[in-house]
Structure 1
Amino acid sequence: MTSKRKQYTSEFTFKVVMESFQRDTTIEAVCRKFDVPSSVLSRWRQEFQQNGPGAFEGKKKPQSPPAPGESPEELKKIIGELTVQNELLKKSRGLLGN
C-alpha cells in the first residue's frame, strides 16, 4: 500500500505557522488541531523565520482548471454568445405566438 504525501496550500501553512507563534498555545496543540506532524511544523516555522510571510508563496499549489471567463476577452466572448442565444430565443417565442 502506498501512501500519498499531503499537500498543503500556502494559506493553510501560513495559518498554522502563525498560530504556532501565539503565546497561549503549544506546538503540540497546534499539530493536533491541524493534524500536522511536528517535524513539518518545525520546518515551516524555520522557513518563515528565514524568509518572512512570502516563504510559502512559491510552494506548489494543487492545480485546478481555470474558470471560464477569467480574462476580459473570454468574458466578452461569453457575453456575445449569450446575446445571440437570447435573441434567437426571443425570435422563436415570437414565432410560436407567445
Structure 2
Amino acid sequence: MANKRKQYNAQFKAKVALAAIRGEKTVAELASQYEVHPTMINNWKRQLLEGASNVFESSSSAVSAQSDQQAQIDELYRQIGQLKVERDFLANRLVGK
C-alpha cells in the first residue's frame, strides 16, 4: 500500500514560513520541530515572500472581483429560473396529452 502524502493547511504553512523568515532558528531546526522537510519550508517561505505584495493591493480590485462574481451568480440564478419555467411547461404539455 502506498504512503499517502500529508496535507498541511494554509495556517500551518504560514506559521512555519514566518518562523523561517524571522530567522530565530535555522531551517533544519524548524524542520525538526515541525516534522517537515527543509525543502518544503524553503518553498513556503518563498511563496510567502512572493505573495506578500497581494496583501497591500488596493481594495478596488477586490471589490471589482466581488462585483463580477455577484453578476455571474445573478446570471446563473436567471438561467435556473428560465430552465424551471421550461421544465414546468414541458411537464404540463406531457401530462396534457
Q: What is the RMSD of the two structures over their aligned residues, measured on CA atoms?
A: 2.1
Q: CA deviation at 1:53?
A: 8.2
SS in 1 for 2:30: helix
Q: Which runs of 5+ in 2 are unaligned?
A: 56-97
Deviation at 1:5, TM superposition (A): 0.8
Q: Provide the residue aligned with 1:72 in structure 2.
A: none
Moved more, 45-54 or 2-11: 45-54
Partner of 1:14: 14
Q: Identity over the aligned pairs, expressed in percent?
A: 22
What are the Cα deviations for residues 4-37 of structure 1, in whole angstroms up to 9, with x where unaligned? 1111111111001111122321110001000010
Which secondary structure does the structure 2 equivalent of 1:46 belong to?
helix
TM-score, length basis structure 1: 0.50
1:18-97, aligned counterparts within 5 Å? 18-52=18-52
The offset of 1:43, in angstroms, is: 0.9
Q: Cα offset for 1:49?
A: 1.1
Indicate the structure with greater helix content. 2
When residues 13 and 26 of structure 1 are mapped into structure 2, their CA distance, relative to the original with a 3 A threshold, is: same
In structure 1, the residue corresponding to 2:7 is in which secondary structure?
A: coil
| CA–CA distance in structure 1, aligned partners of residues 27 and 51 of structure 2 | 20
In structure 1, what residue type is equivalent to 2:48?
F
- CA shift for structure 1 position 52: 1.6
Q: 2:83 aligns to what?
A: none
- Structure 1 contact 14–53 (Cα < 8 Å) conserved: no
**Which blocks of at least 5 consecutive residues in structure 1 are unaligned?**
56-98
Structure 2 length as normaliser, TM-score?
0.51
